[in-house]
Structure 1
Amino acid sequence: MGQDAFMEPFSNLFCDLQCKIYFLLVGVCSALKLTVPPHTIHGIEGQPLHLTVNYNFNTTASEVQIIWLFERPQTNPKYLLGSVNQTVVPDLEYQHKFTLIPPNASLMINPLHISDEGNYIVKVNVRGNGTIAASQKIQVAVDVPVTKPIVHTEPSSGVVEYVGNMTLKCTVGKGTRVVYQWMKNGKRLHAGPNYTFSSNNATLLILPVVKEDIGNYSCLVSNPVSAMESEIIVPTIYYGPYGLRVKSDKGLKIGAVFTVDIGEAILFDCSADSNPPNTYSWIQRADNTTHVIKYGPHLEVLSDKVAQKTIDYMCRAFNNVTGKRDETHFTVIVTSVGLEKLAQKGKSLSSLAVITGISLLLILVMAFLFLWKRYQPYKVIQQKLQSRPETDYRKAQTFAGHESASDDFGIYEFVAIPDLAGGSRVSSQSVPGSDFISGQDMLSTVYEVIQHIPAQQQQDHQQ
């Protein structure tokens, strides 16, 4: 680049100063307006970049000059190309990279490289009755798109909660001005009591590790021209056992007591939250001693083979990595009622249905007893009287006091009517010489009337 090009910026400054003085005198400088993007332009390495520039003026121009310069921080500007009217004058060093199509003042850069990052200065000079000029600066940043990041976990074998620490590192192969952001279960992760980030957020430290730190972690990297997210990684954290409990497929459970029927086989299941999975042991308590009866998460108890009706058991869970264990106690009661099974299956009758059924049964029984008491005495009397021999009726006639037996022939009946005061009233046909015995049965009374005939009267009757 020659000396003239080197002195060009100084001459431009001098021209601007002249224009401002001229504006103060005749107000012509405002006739030229130059418009460029107000913000930094981000370009992608290897791709073309178009710098848009517009200008206009309101004076007669005999000559329009456009000049493009490039500068980096702490360096002198370099001449790229220029034009006078529609004739382009490129710099031989950059003639295949920069394009200008007059009268448009926009500049095309193709291809764009990292070395092209800097400030681009455009200047427009218009010569008419006088010379007016304007210049603007455009800041260009060149970025390399980021590649997919990779997350590494240290230690990779996993850590025990409350004991170890964990470090997650995010690395990216390519990319400029990379911004790192950590995600957990799809949400941005922020610094907290357990989370500490490096200065550029590329490293995440979890100290100390707890069970709640388990989740889907990923690293999101971005720059002004691209963004990529890593694969999901789930850190290995050892914990537990937590929430130990015993369940059964049968029986009625009330608190820590299971009630089962005699002869019923019941299967117990023991479970607890843990990583790695727990080892389980079943322990039976008898005579103030305990002994292991089975290993594994399941236990089957046959209630018809137990020695006593109440048995105490214990399930113990142990995590061989964390070294922690937990245990839970429960009791099995063997019954012969079987109501527990009905209650468990929800097939028991409701209280209202039971009461209603009993009430209907009592009503039917009372109605039957009433009818039986109402009709049974008359039936018995009739049967007894019909079964009497004819001699009894003859005795009854003689007992009536008449010489003619045909006059008093018939059946005499005593009817007992209950008295509210507890006594009895008897209405009948009068029988001379007979005494009424209170409290005797109605049937026996009739029988005695017929049987108790004076012997003398019986002999006279026979004669």
Structure 2
Amino acid sequence: MESSLTYLIILGALSAVTEGAGLLPDGPLQKAVGDSVRFNTSKTPTETLFHSVLWKFKGETILFATPANNNTTPGYEDRIIYFPSTASLELRNLLTNDSGEYRVEIVSATADQGSTTLEVLEAVSGVTVSPNSADLLENAPVTLRCSSSGSSLTFLWMNGSTEVTASDRVQLTNENKTLNFTSVSRYDQGLYRCHVSNPVSHKISETVNITVNYGPEDTRVSPSKPPYATGSTIILMCSANSRPSPHFTWHVNSTKLPHDGEKLQLMKVTMSNNGNYSCRAFNPKTSVTVESPPVPITVTVLVVSPACSAGCIAGIVIACLVLVAGLVGGGYFYLHKKKTNRRMTDFPNTEVHQNDYVNMPNHQHDNMSSHYENVDGSHYENMSAEFRRAK
């Protein structure tokens, strides 16, 4: 009976309470289902308990606290934690039904009240996109749809790291859940994802691969650098702008060659290889074939200066030998003359002049001759023996 009377007195006092600015944080406070939320007041913690604290949700009391005891409304007993030093309140295991306005009324030396709102959201889950891939021809239409569970969802489409926005060919409908291409281009190819979020969670779908096939276009042949001489090698390359890469065939004068691929190699060419060469690019996805402009190839005989004949070579060899012999002979003569002059310089008294013999009287010649004639062999032998002894 006494507690009831106290409660009624407090309620009467609260009728004169004015709204306290900033007593509770501004809302809405956003939390996920199953989380907890704490309504913190702006009161400074104190050891002196408040005369009374009243918490309400949507106008209904969920907690009444006095210094003597705390009264919790049935259904909240295991979910509410009360902090008497600041009159704050924590609510656990949130449900979507917990969304709404929360109000607190505090009576102490003064009386204050404040309010805020709570929004309990379901977390994002189960994000999927259909179809999960698309292999398209350029200019074809395609539609991607994103689905997800959760509340207050926001949808965003990404191509790689680029956000997809609406244009003449691109439409975003159904709150961006649907991405529609009225006509895809080759630049739309890429890896697409659907990003789904709300204030409490965020999820991304699996990748959707969109392939856009086109071409071939701008088919051309790049030849080796002319001129082309007989016996040389010619390499021709074929290219085209296409997705997927095309299949190449080669033709000369409109006749198909038994060789496929982007590279054609002609080895040891002759004039029989002359002609107009072209390649054809075929795209198996678009079923389109495009032929390159023809490239004329002309093989010519390489003109080489005639070689020196055998007689010419023999003449060159003989001339070289004569030149060498002349150089050797001249050198020998020079060295011999130099050596002779050095001898004559070293022995000047032994030099005999021809005039000495010419001016000699005839009787002297005769006497010398008879002198040598009268010398017998024994004389020479005696001279030889004396010469040996002298040695």
The TM-score bracket by the shorter chain reads: 0.5 to 0.7
- Pairing partner for 1:230 from 185, 188, 205: 205
In the alignment, residue 237 of structure 2 is paired with which amino acid?
A: D
Partner of 1:149: 127
Q: 1:103 to 1:204 in 2, by over 3 A?
A: same
- Pairing partner for 2:38 from 31, 50, 62: 50
Partner of 2:102: 120
Q: Is the 8 A contact 2:27 2:118 kept in 1?
A: no
- Pairing partner for 2:297 from 298, 312, 332: 332
Q: Is the 8 A contact 1:269 1:299 kept in 2?
A: yes
Partner of 1:294: 258
- Pairing partner for 1:269 from 237, 244, 252: 237
Question: What SS does structure 2 have at the residue aligned with 1:216?
Answer: strand
Shift, 1:326, TM fit: 1.9
Q: 1:101 to 1:143 in 2, by over 3 A?
A: same
Question: What SS does structure 2 have at the residue aligned with 1:280?
Answer: strand
Provide, for residues 390-433 of structure 1, a one-character-per-residue CA deviation record: whole Å limited to 9, x for no partner.
xxxxxxxxxxxxxxxxxxxxxxxxxxxxxxxxxxxxxxxxxxxx
Q: Is the 8 A contact 1:153 1:235 kept in 2?
A: no
Partner of 1:168: 144
Where structure 1 has 5 or more consecutive residues not aligned to the other structure, the ranges are 21-28, 72-76, 253-257, 340-463
Partner of 1:64: 51
Q: CA RMSD in A?
A: 3.1
Select the structure with the greater relative contact order (CA < 8 A; seq sep ≥ 6).
2
Q: Is the 8 A contact 1:184 1:217 kept in 2?
A: yes
Q: Is the 8 A contact 1:153 1:166 kept in 2?
A: no
d(CA) in 2 for partners of 1:121, 1:67: 8
Q: Is the 8 A contact 1:34 1:134 kept in 2?
A: no
d(CA) in 2 for partners of 1:133, 1:283: 99
Q: 1:239 to 1:63 in 2, by over 3 A?
A: closer
Shift, 1:33, TM fit: 6.4
- Pairing partner for 1:322 from 246, 268, 286: 286
Q: 1:15 to 1:265 in 2, by over 3 A?
A: same
Shift, 1:317, TM fit: 1.1
Question: What SS does structure 2 have at the residue aligned with 1:322?
Answer: coil
Question: What SS does structure 2 have at the residue aligned with 1:234?
Answer: strand
Aligned pair count? Answer: 294
Shift, 1:175, TM fit: 2.6
Q: 1:18 to 1:191 in 2, by over 3 A?
A: same
Shift, 1:41, TM fit: 0.8
Shift, 1:305, TM fit: 4.0
Provide, for residues 4-37 of structure 1, a one-character-per-residue CA deviation record: whole Å limited to 9, x for no partner.
9xxx9xx96x8566456xxxxxxxx9xx766111
d(CA) in 1 for partners of 2:252, 2:222: 17
Matches within 5 A, 1:48-447: 48-55=36-43, 64-71=51-58, 77-85=59-67, 87-126=69-108, 132-147=110-125, 149-153=127-131, 156=133, 158-162=135-139, 164-172=140-148, 174-248=149-223, 251-252=224-225, 258-285=226-253, 290-294=254-258, 296-297=260-261, 298-307=263-272, 310-328=274-292, 329-337=294-302
Question: What SS does structure 1 have at the residue aligned with 2:143?
Answer: strand
TM-score (norm 2): 0.67
Q: 1:136 to 1:214 in 2, by over 3 A?
A: same
Q: Is the 8 A contact 1:120 1:137 kept in 2?
A: yes
In the alignment, residue 65 of structure 1 is paired with which amino acid?
A: S
Shift, 1:125, TM fit: 2.5
In the alignment, residue 227 of structure 2 is paired with which amino acid?
A: T
d(CA) in 2 for partners of 1:168, 1:262: 60
Provide, for residues 87-132 of structure 1, a one-character-per-residue CA deviation record: whole Å limited to 9, x for no partner.
2111122111112121321111111122211111111133x5xxx5
Percentage identity across paired residues of the two chains: 24
d(CA) in 2 for partners of 1:215, 1:157: 10
d(CA) in 2 for partners of 1:338, 1:66: 114
Matches within 5 A, 1:19-38: 19=17, 35-38=23-26
Shift, 1:224, TM fit: 0.8
Q: Is the 8 A contact 2:221 2:278 kept in 1?
A: no
Partner of 2:373: none
Q: 1:191 to 1:326 in 2, by over 3 A?
A: same
d(CA) in 2 for partners of 1:96, 1:322: 67
Q: Is the 8 A contact 1:261 1:303 kept in 2?
A: no
Q: Is the 8 A contact 1:33 1:55 kept in 2?
A: no
Q: 1:159 to 1:62 in 2, by over 3 A?
A: closer
d(CA) in 2 for partners of 1:64, 1:33: 20
Partner of 1:381: none
Where structure 2 has 5 or more consecutive residues not aligned to the other structure, the ranges are 305-391
Q: Is the 8 A contact 1:303 1:334 kept in 2?
A: no
Shift, 1:49, TM fit: 1.5
Shift, 1:139, TM fit: 0.8
Partner of 1:399: none
Shift, 1:54, TM fit: 2.3
